[in-house]
Amino acid sequence: MKYYNHLKSIHYFSVTAHYLSIKKASESLFVTQAAISQQIRSLEEALGVALFHRHHRFLSLTLEGSKLLPHLKIAFDSIDKGIDGVISDNEPNTIRLSVFPSFASRWLIPRLARFYKQHPDININLSMTDKIETFGEGIDLAIRFSIGEYKGLKNKFLMKDYIYPACHPLYLKEHNIKTIKDLKKQRLLEDTKSNLSWDYWLEKKSIEKTHIETDDTSSNRDRYDGSHYVIDSALSAQGVAMVRHSLVAEAIEQNQLVKLFDEVVELEPQYYLCAPEHYFEYPKIKLFSDWLTQEVNDFCLRHPL
pLDDT one-digit tens code per residue, 51-95:
999 998 889 999 999 999 999 888 887 777 776 665 666 788 999
Q: Could you list the residue range(s) of the whole structural domain that residue 167 is in?
A: 162-266
Residue 16 reports pLDDT greater than 60: yes
Tell me, what's the pLDDT at 85?
61
Tell me, what's the pLDDT at 218?
56
C-alpha distance from residue 258 to each of 6, 148, 176, 215, 237 (Å) = 66, 32, 13, 27, 11
Tell me, what's the pLDDT at 86?
58
Q: By C-alpha distance, which of 115, 117, 118 is closest to 107? A: 115
What pTM did the predictor assign?
0.71
CB atoms < 10 A from the CB of 185, how many?
Answer: 12
Q: Model confidence over 86-126: pLDDT tens digits?
A: 566 678 899 999 999 999 999 999 999 999 999 999 999 99
Q: Kind and range of the H or E element at 123?
A: strand 123-128
Same domain? For 168 and 258 the reply is yes
Same domain? For 169 and 246 the reply is yes
Q: Kind and range of the H or E element at 241?
A: strand 240-244
CA end-to-end span of the chain: 60
Same domain? For 239 and 279 the reply is no
Q: Kind and range of the H or E element at 124?
A: strand 123-128
Residue 217 reports pLDDT greater than 60: no
Percent of the chain with pLDDT strictly greater than 90: 69
Q: Model confidence over 249-262: pLDDT tens digits?
A: 999 999 999 999 98
Query: Looking at residue 55, which CATH number applies to its domain?
Result: 1.10.10.10
Single out the residue in 86, 117, 139 at which a domain terminates. 86
Same domain? For 180 and 258 the reply is yes
Span of 133-137, 281-285, 295-299 with lowest mean pLDDT: 133-137
Q: What's the average model confidence in pLDDT over 19-42?
A: 89
Domain count, the chain: 3
Same domain? For 213 and 238 the reply is yes
Backbone angles phi, psi at 149, to 5 degrees: -75, 155
Same domain? For 25 and 38 the reply is yes
